[in-house]
Amino acid sequence: MLSFVTTFILTGIPHAPKLGTPLFGIFLVIYALTLVGNLLILLVIKVDSHLRTPMYYFLANLSFIDMWFSTVTVPKILMSLLSPDGGAILFHSCVAQLYFFHCLGSTECFLYTVMSYDRYLAITYPLRYATRMSGKMCALLAGGTWLSGAIHSAAQTALTFHLPYCGPNQIEHYVCDAPPILKLACADTSVNEMVIFVNIGVVASGCCFLIFLSYVSIVHAILKIHTAEGRHKAFQTCASHCIVVLCFFVPGLIIYLRPGSKHVMDRIVAIFQTMITPMLNPLVYTLRNKEVKMALLRLKDQRNFVYKSQCLS
């Protein structure tokens, strides 16, 4: 890694200086809701025995990823909105941010694929589901998503930062991401851009294809369910997953399948993926999920019981 640049400057969100205070307040609220919502999901799944199933095991992984996915980017955005120098980031900090940004993002991508496979097994093979999705299998699948994400991110980071950076240091983004960083390299980046484009394209399109196949099979199986209640429950569970998958994949495909684009709209779309989607996931899974809502009520009742017991004693 050869570089004469010691500090990068993240230019941030377009027109942010004019809207610094309102944006800071909005993004701070979004970040707080993301942390609280995902922590609540983790807490409920941890303490409620009714949620000790593969579906909620993977949902807990998703909530953990979403918390850190936001934490990798949002605090730096808030700093840049507060201070004119808030966009400055050290070279090695930029390397770390890029690695964790892609590691968590790609892990989430793989996890959505695993979650769709889990729903496919649960609905298509309900009698054999418990044996196929054992605790060991869940741990292996979750571990595989984290390992795959780490390897994918290591490749992205290596391809980006093994180039020399000796001149301009302004990154046209609010986060250290590969496409805008490569534009600053003091060398030909065509091969690197192509490999990164193919790498992201293979991962994203492969995951989308597997998810699509899973849901084609799921819809086919749901239509065979005889009771209206059974079909409604299956569709409702799958609809929640479809919503969060679309919110995650559509912005990512818009950004990364147009690597040469310099349009500011890319940064607006990226905000949706890095800030809005992690906040929406807990809302989608709680508001549309009867089991989670019941678990929240049981948790509330337990807290009320403990509080009354303490008052009486």
Domain positions in the chain are 7-312
Q: What is the pLDDT of residue 92?
A: 93
The 10 Å Cβ neighbour count of residue 144 is 14
Q: What is the pLDDT of residue 305?
A: 44
For 199-222, the pLDDT digits (tens) are 777 888 889 899 989 988 888 888
CB contact set of 252 (below 8 Å; sequence gap of 6+): 105, 109, 204, 273
**Per-chain mean pLDDT for the chain:** 84
Q: What is the pLDDT of residue 267?
A: 72
Q: What is the pLDDT of residue 178?
A: 87
Ranges of residues in the chain whose predicted pLDDT is under 70: 1-3, 14-20, 230, 237, 256-266, 287-288, 301-313
Q: What is the pLDDT of residue 271?
A: 83
Percent of the chain residues past pLDDT 70, beyond the cut: 87
**Superfamily (CATH H level) for 7-312:** Rhodopsin 7-helix transmembrane proteins (1.20.1070.10)
